Amino acid sequence: MDSVTQAVLGAGIQGAMLGRFQGRRALIYGAALATVPDLDVLMRYPDPVSLMTYHRGFSHSIFVLTGLALFLTWLIRKYWPQAPYGGRRLFLTLWLVLVTHPVLDAFTVYGTQLFWPWASIPESWSAIFIIDPIYTVPLLLGVLFAIAVGMTGLARRLLTVALIFSTAYLGFGLAGRIAAENRVRDAMQQQGIAVTELRAVSTPFNTLVWRVIAKTSDGNYYEAVSSLFDRGQPEWLRQPLNLDLARALADVPLHERLRWFTDNWLRYDAIGGALVVTDLRMGMAGHYTFRFKMAERAPDGSWKPVTPSAWPSERGGWAEMKLVLSRIFHEQPPLPLAEWSTLSLK
């Protein structure tokens, strides 16, 4: 999630749990501590694939953050033994402020290594977009109210209500994702399309209209769109994965790491003399967020792996955003998926 959301979540938790003792300082402490896991962005990596796949790594591990919470609790109790709250309450507060950061990140599609150093596939629950005002605004308003009036009983209750609402909203998003996946899977089965893998991803700023990607055994995938309010069938577009090109990257370590990180939701395209690998999980047809040049065509026509570099991608703008948001309530006209998809070949 974005930094503002993480900060107000941490501020809300610490304010609700320790605001009675720390006053407005609880909001500052919580906001600052909640940003600690994202300090890994200060690390430098030699290529964009490493940057992408090592972010949300060790600094987002619940094991590392639990150890940090224990250390901070010991440190605070050692140097401020007169604090009017117990060690258990302090530890629980610090632990929640730290651990809710990566757990919230895991509700997005990016991928969070919650259980580092275990090499499990990063958690990617796809229940919420990286920026969602319905999640963030209640927390922000609660924190601003507490700043304005102080950590009164009313302020702490409002923070608690905002935390409960935001948590319930995550559950709503997860239920929406499952409903969208079931809707698209059932519609494709009715059309005789044999789906081997499928997952839904929230579209920007909402949990009402969903993008669903589905793989088939013939080496293709479908881009589908489904809204919570749809009455008709979801629209979709069939696209090639071009898996034959993946053979050129066999045994390339960074390619294998990218496959692991994305759970193999990758597409391959030969664009001019470049072999471009696309992460299908983020973005939409023709507007993918992460694309990498990973090989170049040699004079003999073969592919030569190279150090990955970022490949330009068309992210879209307000015009595309308006179409997506209007799709929440209106099935017609459908999104121009076929037109957008041509942008992937540039």
Q: What is the pLDDT of residues 139-150, one digit of tens each?
A: 999 999 999 999
What is the pLDDT at residue 344? 76
Q: How far apart are CA 10 and CA 159, in angstroms?
A: 11
Average pLDDT for the chain = 95
Q: Residue-wise over 92-104: b if at least 16 C-beta within 10 A, else e? A: bbbbbbbbbbbbb
Whether 345 shows a pLDDT value over 90: the answer reads: no
DSSP codes of every residue in 206-222: -SSEEEEEEEETTSEEE
Give Cα 193 distance to the centre of its chain.
Answer: 28
Could you read off the pLDDT of 82-109 as tens digits, one per residue?
A: 889 999 999 999 999 999 999 999 999 9
Write the CA distances from 142 to 125, 148, 149, 164, 334, integer angstroms.
27, 10, 11, 12, 38
Examine residue 81 and say whether the peptide bond preceding it is cis (omega within 30 degrees of 0).
no
Q: Look-up: residue for tokens 């009675």?
A: 20
First to last CA, the chain: 29
Do strands 195-202 and 209-216 pair parallel, antiparallel, or not at all (unpaired)? antiparallel
Give Cα 186 distance to the centre of its chain.
Answer: 26
Give Cα 40 distance to the centre of its chain.
Answer: 16
Angle, alpha carbons 171-176-178 (nearest 5°): 100
What is the pLDDT at residue 210? 97
Confirm whether pTM is higher than 0.85.
yes
**Cβ atoms of residues 10 and 103 within 8 Å:** no
Per-residue pLDDT, averaged over 272-280, amounts to 96
